[in-house]
């Protein structure tokens, strides 16, 4: 369904440790209506999945995806990049037909 680069995996593990959550904790990846192109990505560390979530094991990271978001995340690669302009998670979505300069908003 979706992939995380090694750099993203390491950063997610760091965030889980920083938040002091263990056990069922993982990364929620969501697609939300909004943003400058129609949809935007959301990431959050959560204690556990919701009852209707799909729970994935992506390179040792538990990833929680709700049914609405799942339809937009097939083939998405999440990376963590550091550049002169800053650092953060980026998304490569082969299903997106457009996007904007913010890097977290897309059109399908």
Rounded distance, CA 76 to CA 93, Å?
Answer: 5
Q: Which helix (H) or strand (E) holds 22?
A: none
Six token digits for residue 27:
């990364």
More confident residue, 28 or 105: 28
Residue 55: strand pairing partners: 64
Q: What percent of the chain has pLDDT over 70?
A: 84
φ, ψ (nearest 5 deg) of residue 16 = -65, -45
Q: Please give the average per-residue pLDDT across 49-56, as a whole number.
A: 96
pTM for this model (two decimals): 0.83
H helices within the chain, ranges in order? Answer: 6-19, 67-70
Residue 8, helix vs strand vs coil = helix
- Extents of the domains making up the chain: 3-107
Structural fold of domain 3-107: Hypothetical Protein Aq_1857; Chain: A; (2.60.300)
């Amino acid at each position: 369904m979706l992939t995380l680069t090694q750099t993203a995996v390491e950063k997610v593990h760091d965030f889980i440790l920083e938040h002091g959550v263990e056990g069922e904790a993982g990364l929620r990846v969501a697609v939300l209506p909004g943003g400058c192109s129609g949809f935007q990505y959301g990431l959050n560390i959560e204690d556990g999945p919701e009852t209707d979530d799909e729970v994935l094991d992506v390179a040792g990271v538990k990833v929680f995806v709700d049914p609405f978001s799942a339809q937009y995340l097939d083939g998405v690669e999440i990376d963590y990049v550091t550049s002169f302009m800053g650092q953060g998670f980026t998304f490569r979505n082969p299903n997106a037909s457009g996007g904007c300069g913010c890097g977290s908003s897309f059109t399908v």
